[in-house]
Structure 1
Amino acid sequence: MNTMSIDAVTVRSATSVADARENTRNFLDSLRQPPIAAEAADTVVLVVSELVTNALRHGGGTCTLNLTTHPDSIEVAVHDSSPQTPRVRTPDLTGGTGGFGWPMVNHLARTTAITHQAAGGKTVTAFLPR
């Protein structure tokens, strides 16, 4: 029977997207066997940045970021206190008000999920290729 350890990190009460990106880079840099490729790491950081930005902007101002590595994927999970799910908006090409993030996350991830928590809020999860 083969067992594989799963590396994980939790960042509580992320209040800065820059902090979330830095913690993510540190986590990814700590992966040894096998290390994550630079392009895959950049993709994970981009998805973390988007999900944390959305959680801070629309989810109550704080969030929890969980990163877990699996043999063939990196799991990014962001919990916030808002029950409102992300929605696809028509991207604003002239006014700069966004609309690009959630479609981008869904394009980059193998799969995404939104789980509503009994205690309130939700967790948005994205699985990205390792």
Structure 2
Amino acid sequence: MDTVRASVAPARPGNSAADARRDARAFLDGLLPAVTSETADAVLLAVSELVTNALRHAGGTWSLELTAHPDSIEVAVHDPSPQAPRMRTPDLNGGTGGFGWPLVTRLARTTAVTPGPSGGKTVSALLTR
């Protein structure tokens, strides 16, 4: 299998994590050989969490790029905030979150936060295929 890359959700304010999951699912469904259901679930969860973080903490504008390598899938979310994700104690009662970044770091083989040229960042997660 060759490396396959797609920008599946260009930056558009107001698009939801559900939109990103739908687009990511379409990308995954087009891969040959097909990914396992476990890999698809992990990728969709990482997409959902990273886009939700961009919506909540980075002003709501984001773009998503997925790259399929022979042994992994890379999820990269670009947003305009320079703030890197941070670990925090999950809020079990108040609904303020704290679950997303720890979840992504557990799902991924590696994660990276790369500053963007115009002050934003790209948060990426590499998941085993």
Greater Rg over alpha carbons, structure: 1
Alpha-carbon separation, structure 2, partners of 1:118 and 1:66: 17
User: Which structure 1 residue ranges, 5 or more long, are not aligned?
Assistant: none
Which residue is equivalent to 1:95? 94
Aligned counterparts, 1:99-110, within 5 A? 99-110=98-109
Which residue is equivalent to 1:30? 30
Q: What letter matches 1:27 in structure 2?
A: F
Alpha-carbon separation, structure 1, partners of 2:59 and 2:94: 24
Q: TM-score when scaled to structure 2?
A: 0.94
SS in 1 for 2:11: strand
1:51 paired to 2:50: yes
Alpha-carbon separation, structure 1, partners of 2:87 and 2:18: 24
Paired positions, count? 126
Aligned-residue Cα RMSD (Å) equals 1.0
Q: Structure 1 stretch 100-109 or stretch 8-17: which is displaced more?
A: 8-17
Q: What letter matches 2:16 in structure 1?
A: S
Task: State the 4+ residue runs in structure 1 displaced beyond 4 angstroms.
Answer: none
Q: Percent identity?
A: 63
C-alpha displacement at 1:94, in angstroms?
Answer: 1.4
Q: Deviations over 1:3-47 (max 9, x none)?
A: x52111112025211110000000000001x21001110110000
User: Which structure 2 residue ranges, 5 or more long, are not aligned?
Assistant: none
